[in-house]
Structure 1
Amino acid sequence: MAKLARIHCINKTDKMNPHERIESVGGVYPNGSRWRQSVSQTIKDIESGEWEFYIEEDGIVVGLIVATHDGQKYIKTAADDIHPNNLLLLAECP
C-alpha cells in the first residue's frame, strides 16, 4: 500500500508554461517539521507506486497524477484538465 503525503505548498519558476512552472512541492510531517522535494522526485514517487500525493481544498481531497504534455511529464491534480491550476493556487513553500 502506498504512503500518503499531503501537498501544502509549491515553489514556482519564472516560466510561463503551466506544465513547467512548479519546481518543487512541500508539506508538513506529523511532528510539525516541513518537507520539500522536486517535481521530478514527486513524479518518480508516484510512478513507482510507493507514494500517493494529494491536496485538500475546501474539505475535498484531490489526488495528484502524472500527466504528459508535448512529451514532458508534469504533475497535476486528477480534477484538472490540461492546466494544473489547483496546484498553482497553493501558497509558496517557505
Structure 2
Amino acid sequence: MSDFQVTCIIPDGQDRDRRIDSIGGTAGGGWKLKLDDAIHHIESGTHQFWTVAKSESVWIIVAVRNGKKYLKTTADGLEPNNLLALPSCT
C-alpha cells in the first residue's frame, strides 16, 4: 500500500453536493486522480491518501451521504471542509 499526500483538489463545479472531481499532489512531479478512482484505491486498500489540516496530518477516508460516496478527512465532521479548503490543482 502506498501513501500519497493530497495538496490540491479540482472542485466539481457548482453542484449542490459540493463533490470534489479530483484530488492531486506534488509527488513525482505532480499527479491528479479522479474522485471515483481515489475512492476505489482507498476501498481496495491499494493506496492511502492524507493531507495537512491545522498543522496536523490527517487521513482521507470514504464517506457516504445521500447515497453518494465522497472523500473527507478523519478530522472533518459531515462536510469535507479540510479538503474543500485546499487550493485548486493547476
- Following TM superposition, the consecutive aligned residue runs of length 4 or more in structure 1 with deviations greater than 3 angstroms are none
1:4 aligns with 3
How far apart, CA to CA, are the structure 2 residues paired with 1:17 and 1:72?
9
Point out where structure 2 has 5 or more consecutive residues left out of the alignment.
none
1:17 aligns with 17
Cα shift at 1:57: 2.8
How far apart, CA to CA, are the structure 1 residues paired with 2:76 and 2:54?
16
1:81 aligns with 77
For 1:52, which of 36, 48, 53 is the aligned residue?
48
Asked if 1:92 is matched to 2:88, the reply is yes
| C-alpha RMSD of the superposition | 1.1
Point out where structure 1 has 5 or more consecutive residues left out of the alignment.
none
How far apart, CA to CA, are the structure 2 residues paired with 1:23 and 1:17?
11
